[in-house]
Amino acid sequence: MISSRLRGRVLIVDDEESIGVGISEILKDVGFEAAYAVSGRDAVDAVKGAGYNLVFMDMVMPGMSGLETFREIKKINPETRVVLFTGYFRDAEDAIMQGVKEGMIDEFIRKPYFADEIIRSARKYALRP
């Protein structure tokens, strides 16, 4: 089996630091290398500095939205996959559909999330060959 630390680099982006910390700890506990960013701009800077296989992206954030942030990340690393999550589905529905249409959103998780959903998604997308 290929070590998840070699190919399982995950970035969590959420303006609520507790969510970023929570998801990154869940993923670290099962062997992923995980970091978090609290804004779209911080996420773009993080991707410039380190390669990530997968980004868990909050949709509704001040400043750059999740969709705007992922567009920038995609320019830096087109192979990066994204799993979108938000607690505001109705407010974000048009942006989510636009992201799906552009082929940028691989999966959607609604808050509150369950740890097994996060782990399953990370294994599916971050450990791809």
pLDDT along the chain (129 residues), means of 10: 56 92 93 95 91 86 87 88 73 65 64 81 78
Overall pTM > 0.75: yes
Selection from 8, 22, 9 nearest residue 111 by Cα: 22
Contact 82, 54 (CB under 8 A): yes
State the residue range of the domain holding 97.
11-126
Identify the pLDDT of residue 4: 39
In a domain, 26, yes or no: yes
Token couple for 105: 């959103």
How many domains are contained in the chain? Answer: 1
Identify the pLDDT of residue 100: 67
In a domain, 107, yes or no: yes
Identify the pLDDT of residue 7: 60
In a domain, 2, yes or no: no
Q: Could you give the dihedral angle defined by the CA atoms of residues 67, 94, 60 and 5, in that order, rounded to the nearest 10 degrees?
A: -40
Q: Which residue has the tokens 């799906």?
A: 100
Distance between CA atoms of residues 34 and 67, nearest Å: 21
In a domain, 45, yes or no: yes
Identify the pLDDT of residue 17: 92
Selection from 76, 75, 71, 48 nearest residue 84 by Cα: 71
In a domain, 6, yes or no: no
CATH number at residue 85: 3.40.50.2300
In a domain, 103, yes or no: yes
In a domain, 4, yes or no: no
